[in-house]
Structure 1
Amino acid sequence: MKTARILLLGGCLLMADAHATSFVISTDITMSLTLSSSKGTSGSFKDDKIVLAAKDDAAAFVASNGEIRGAQMEAAFQRIRSLLPELPSTDLQLASAILML
């Protein structure tokens, strides 16, 4: 399953018109998700069941360039944005960050 995700993500990167700025923003978002916690302690979204459940949906979303929007990914977006309202991100950047967790 992990290999399939890596291959899917690799294919997405080859097809996408990626820019260094987008990568930096996605990396910053990933760091924010990794360092943040819903409890305000040293946890992260890596342990969040809602966000982890959205990985497959996020992979489909990224691979389809935003055309496929799964319910679990939408729930993860709502959770992340409610806990980190200051996080500036597009849906595509956020989905990419979820994949990197």
Structure 2
Amino acid sequence: MTRFPLLAGAALLALATSASATSFVATTDTLGGLTANASESTSDISSSFDDDKIVRAARDDAASFVASNGAIRGAQLEAALRHIRQQAPQVQADDQQLARAILAL
């Protein structure tokens, strides 16, 4: 009779551990997928706007924007962000990601 509670406890512990590991893997997979999509979007931006004069002119403003964590927004960066969003509406990147992509050109 003392074996049953011990076995039941061990079974519950095994199930709880398995559930935690499964949810961790699912969360990790989801976050990894989101990061990959964002990275893929910004690399698409980098390659398609590589020789664009409006985007190239915004490099200094993009550097200030990234360095100030978004506090400094220059006119050339604003123009480049509008231009990118008009030319590639499918891109789902925020201003910080776009500024980093401009710096990567």
Question: Aligning the two structures, in what range does the TM-score lie when normalised by the shorter sequence?
Answer: 0.5 to 0.7
How many angstroms apart in 1 are the aligned matches of 2:63 and 2:37? 18
How do residues 49-88 of structure 1 correspond to structure 2 at under 5 angstroms?
49-88=53-92
Give percent identity, aligned residues only: 53
Shift of 1:28: 1.8
How many angstroms apart in 2 are the aligned matches of 1:23 and 1:60? 24
Q: Which has the larger radius of gyration?
A: 2
Unaligned segments of structure 2, at least 5 residues: 1-31
Change (3 A) 1:54 1:70: same
How many angstroms apart in 2 are the aligned matches of 1:70 and 1:27? 24
Amino acid corresponding to residue 33 of structure 1 in structure 2:
I
Shift of 1:29: 2.8
How do residues 32-51 of structure 1 correspond to structure 2 at under 5 angstroms?
32-35=44-47, 44-51=48-55
Shift of 1:25: 5.2
Amino acid corresponding to residue 31 of structure 1 in structure 2:
S
Q: Work out whether residues 54 and 76 of structure 1, in 8 Å CA contact, stay in contact via their aligned partners in 2.
A: yes
Unaligned segments of structure 1, at least 5 residues: 1-19, 36-43
Change (3 A) 1:95 1:34: closer
Amino acid corresponding to residue 87 of structure 2 in structure 1:
L
Q: Are 1:27 and 2:31 an aligned pair? A: no
Query: Normalized against structure 2, the TM-score is what?
Result: 0.62
Task: Give the structure with the higher percent helix.
Answer: 2
Shift of 1:30: 2.9
Q: Deviations over 1:46-82 (max 9, x none)?
A: 1100000000000000000000000000000000000
Query: Normalized against structure 1, the TM-score is what?
Result: 0.64
Q: Work out whether residues 46 and 101 of structure 2, in 8 Å CA contact, stay in contact via their aligned partners in 1.
A: no
